[in-house]
Chains A and B, each alone.
Chain A
């Protein structure tokens, strides 16, 4: 079964850091672009970042550029999102999803809450 499973969410204070992980299985992870998408409470879906298949190219939404870093370990079939300088407005459920440019599958998401 093709699936991705996120982990690493939790409660963090403003200005803090958190690293999300996304474990992939059932497909050739190293062949696919991967993405992070988030949804804040009561808000819509927002694309956050993408990374190409070998990790050499990354793109970010302006709202996270300079604070978040997407990376991957193809040997471990795992995608990461390092989130630094977190703000209250980063509170959301974070989803990882397989590319290329349409997202399938998505994980169940991991909740990140930024609050003091």
Chain B
């Protein structure tokens, strides 16, 4: 199975900050990497698919980059509604696997 490792596990930031979350795969997954946002009591919501494609309706302050084994999710200017937990997920091969999550706190 492909292991996905996110860093950091938690992150404190302020409104207006630029934030970067990293996800590393245990083997090359090309660009088969997706990012999700999850708020307490809510289902996860996809933000970025295929490493850098912004899901329809997602604010442009979210961006993704990377290929191979190293990927990043960047939030250019944090808004109050962005405080949540973020997960990466590889869709290169089954079993699809998720990172452990990054909790973004105020």
B98 within 8 A of A: yes
Tell whether, in the assembled complex, residue A102 and residue B46 are in contact, meaning their CB atoms are under 8 Å apart. yes
Q: Count of B residues near A, CB < 8 Å?
A: 22
CA distance A104 to B36 in the complex (A): 10
CA distance A35 to B100 in the complex (A): 19
The stretch that binds B, out of A16-24, A42-50, A77-85, is A42-50
Residue with the greatest number of chain A CB neighbours at <10 A, chosen from B49, B50, B95:
B95
Q: How many A-B residue pairs have CB under 8 A?
A: 52
CA distance A105 to B94 in the complex (A): 19
A25 within 8 A of B: no
B63 within 8 A of A: no
Tell whether, in the assembled complex, residue A104 and residue B46 are in contact, meaning their CB atoms are under 8 Å apart. yes
Tell whether, in the assembled complex, residue A62 and residue B43 are in contact, meaning their CB atoms are under 8 Å apart. no
Give, as a whole number of angstroms, the nearest-CB distance from A97 to chain B.
8
Interface of chain A, main secondary structure:
loop
Tell whether, in the assembled complex, residue A45 and residue B44 are in contact, meaning their CB atoms are under 8 Å apart. yes
Q: Which of A35, A45, A107 contacts B98 (CB 8 A)?
A: A45
A29 within 8 A of B: no
A106-B44, A108-B43, A109-B43 known; A101 vs B91 contact (CB < 8 Å)? yes
CA distance A71 to B33 in the complex (A): 26
Tell whether, in the assembled complex, residue A104 and residue B55 are in contact, meaning their CB atoms are under 8 Å apart. yes
Tell whether, in the assembled complex, residue A47 and residue B44 are in contact, meaning their CB atoms are under 8 Å apart. no
Residue with the greatest number of chain B CB neighbours at <10 A, chosen from A35, A101, A107:
A101
| Residues 79-116 (chain A) with a chain B CB within 8 angstroms | 95, 101-109
Chain A residues with Cβ under 8 A from B36's Cβ?
103
A103-B44, A104-B45, A108-B43 known; A47 vs B98 contact (CB < 8 Å)? yes
| Residues 38-84 (chain B) with a chain A CB within 8 angstroms | 42-46, 49-50, 55
Q: A62-B95, A107-B43, A109-B43 are known contacts; what are 11 more A-B pairs with Cβ within 8 Å?
A: A46-B98, A47-B96, A50-B96, A59-B94, A101-B91, A102-B49, A103-B44, A103-B46, A103-B89, A106-B43, A106-B44
